[in-house]
Structure 1
Amino acid sequence: MELTLINQLEDAAWEKQLPLLEAIMARCEQVLRLEESYLVSLVIVDDEQIRAINRSYRKIDKPTDVISFALKDQEDDYEMMEGERELGDIFINVDALKRQAEAYGHSEEREFGFLFTHGLLHLCGYDHMSEEQEREMFALQEQIIDAIIKR
């Protein structure tokens, strides 16, 4: 996978996490047995920015930790045109990331990796709308992230 990082906050700390993100993408390719290399965009935002996105696209007027916009949802009938390899966009809210890392008692790096993995799995067609889907997706998240960042 290839990554485009868009740092809306211009905080260089997040750009230093590129090796982590690359390791997660490589592990995701391995675990999901992806045969092609895809493009993914990651946008770093704060509470205010993600709240506006959440309100606009999901009609939920509050901030969230991560939102993914897949270019191809499972329900879509279209196929990617030849040469198109872009999966979609992941937006990570670093304000929520910091709060959650503290609440869960682990590093910001692990929370960042977890949120990125979660968003990446959504782009690959996984969801957690039912208990069965949630078990499958969360097991994959742990399989990917635990191999890279220990608890």
Structure 2
Amino acid sequence: MSLQLDWSNEQQIVEIPESWITRLEQLLKLAAEEEGMTDGDVSLTFTDDEEIHQLNREYRGIDRPTDVLSFAMQEDGTEELDIIFEVESEDENDPISGMLGDIIISVETAARQSEEYGHSLEREIGFLFVHGFLHLIGYDHQDEETEAIMTAKQEAILQKAGLSR
């Protein structure tokens, strides 16, 4: 197995060039290498503010759009995942065939943020993708210490890919 990025574009605001997908595949590889990972599948969906607002409200109870959402497939304590493991697992060491989870990016919010921060939309989407990936593998930013760790990891990966501010 190897690292795999599956993506879909469900928004009509910005065209997603193939070069951006190549860059996101590079970021996935760099981020995984930093974490000592060689295998895993990530599903990425580009959407708009309306759709991500709905998802944010439904799954997080927050009634507003956001820039990125991550839904990890291998979180502990999820009853639904236990069912998936029992039904679909052929290999007990890899119960869901390496699927790490889903990342959903609002291109609409990313475009606003890129203007606000003064960098390219490609850089902002790259940042949001790495941020989402780190959430998939267990990183969070609930306090200053964990936020500092996550921020440092994100910036190091983006620097390696040539996506500095």
Calculate the TM-score normalised by the size of structure 1: 0.91
In the comparison of the two structures, how many residue pairs are matched? Answer: 149
Instruction: Give the match for residue 49 of structure 2.
Output: 47
User: Structure 1 regions of 5+ residues with no counterpart?
Assistant: none
Q: Secondary structure at the residue paired with 1:90?
A: strand
Instruction: Give the match for residue 89 of structure 1.
Output: 102
Shift of 1:13: 2.6
User: Structure 2 regions of 5+ residues with no counterpart?
Assistant: none
Q: Distance in 1 between matches of 2:153 and 2:136?
A: 13
Q: Distance in 2 between matches of 1:69 and 1:41?
A: 10
Shift of 1:82: 3.7
Counting only pairs closer than 5 Å after superposition, residues 25-64 of structure 1 correspond to structure 2 as 25-34=28-37, 36-64=38-66
Instruction: Give the match for residue 101 of structure 1.
Output: 114
Instruction: Give the match for residue 20 of structure 1.
Output: 23
Instruction: Give the match for residue 138 of structure 2.
Output: 125
Instruction: Give the match for residue 164 of structure 2.
Output: 150
Calculate the TM-score normalised by the size of structure 2: 0.83
Q: Distance in 1 between matches of 2:154 and 2:127?
A: 7
The structure with the larger Rg is 2
Q: Distance in 1 between matches of 2:93 and 2:17?
A: 31
Q: Distance in 1 between matches of 2:15 and 2:160?
A: 23
1:18-77, Cα deviation, whole Å (9 max, x unpaired): 11111101101221111x41000001100000000001011111000000000122x448
- Of all paired residues, the percent bearing the same amino acid is 42
Aligned-pair RMSD on alpha carbons? 1.9
